[in-house]
A and B are shown apart, each in its own frame.
Chain A
Amino acid sequence: MLSLRGKDLVCQQAVELVTAYLEGALSGKDRRRFERHLSACANCAEYLEQIRSTIRLSGAVQADELTPEAREELVRLYRRWRSG
């Protein structure tokens, strides 16, 4: 139901779907439409890979690279999680 009635995606729409795609949150129809666009569009395919690389970069961030504020924020969130 979340589809544009069979209309092809344009790039500016496709880039806004990357996270929903990676999270597996697109309907089957929308996922196929997104993948169809990517297989025909090298630019959007590269954009998706750049997002994936960015995620990997975030995962490679070491604790001592975080600002003290971000580190404190994490500690606070974990504490809240444990107590909740």
Chain B
Amino acid sequence: MTLLGSEALDADGELLGRLRSGDEDAFVALVDHYQPSMLRLAWSMVGSRAVAEEVVQDTWMGVVRGIERFEGRSSLKTWLFRILVNRARSSVSRELHNAPFESARTVDPARFDADGHWADPVDQWAEEVDARLDSSALTQVVADALQGLPPRQRQVVLLRDVEGLSSEEACQVLGLTQGNQRILLHRARARLRQEVETELWRSQRC
């Protein structure tokens, strides 16, 4: 006979011991059990599934690192969700105050004035390029520029834009979260766009 609640506490105690001793099955069981509700909570806080997935993944990393220091003053569940909420909060403030606005600068900062507006009008070339899609000169520029990208960016853009895989498929192939896949894709596309623009400037000057 156990009093209400103490059963869960005992289970916690046993689980804790196994987690501390590095029992992988125990960790998998913990993830299976809490992942759905953690994802829901994180999602409700950060407003995007991709970011929520990152927050949850980040939380598990925190759990792995912190399990030694967990003193069992609160239940395991409370501790887990406290970590999750803290990560979600700092992720929101990071998105608000830094990325993607300040840290991720994929366009040369010199092209903007002090207020963050374009310093000079953006050259209009998108339409012209669309009309030239079947000429190989510009696709070759992109193909060559792919080689200059960092490996992860190249892999993402190869799968997504060259091969036309969905983001889910690309994440599966590369073992990436949606959020990280998107960041890599964003950087890669911005680099390729710049290479195309540089080529257009060069060819128009000649």
- Which residue of B47, B125, B134, B155 is within 8 Å of A50 (Cβ)? B125
**Proximity string of chain A (11-41) to chain B, C-beta cutoff 8 Å, 1 when within and 0 when not:** 1110111111001011100000000000000
- Which residue of A17, A44, A66, A84 is within 8 Å of B143 (Cβ)? A66
Please tell me if the beta carbons of A19 and B182 are within 8 angstroms of each other in the complex.
yes
Main secondary structure of the interface of B (DSSP, over half): helix
Main secondary structure of the interface of A (DSSP, over half): helix
Interface size for B (C-beta < 8 A) is: 66
Please tell me if the beta carbons of A54 and B193 are within 8 angstroms of each other in the complex.
yes
Given contacts A70-B143, A73-B158, A81-B172, contact A16 B129 (CB under 8 A): no
Whole-angstrom CA separation of A16 from B141 in the bound complex: 23
Q: Does B116 touch A at the CB level, under 8 Å? A: yes
- Which residue of B92, B101, B139, B189 is within 8 Å of A65 (Cβ)? B139
Please tell me if the beta carbons of A10 and B116 are within 8 angstroms of each other in the complex.
yes
**Proximity string of chain A (43-76) to chain B, C-beta cutoff 8 Å, 1 when within and 0 when not:** 1101101111111111111100111011001100
Q: Does B76 touch A at the CB level, under 8 Å? A: no
Task: List 14 other contacts, CB 8 Å, given A46-B123, A77-B155.
Answer: A10-B117, A11-B117, A16-B107, A25-B50, A46-B122, A51-B189, A51-B193, A54-B129, A57-B139, A58-B192, A61-B142, A65-B140, A73-B154, A73-B158
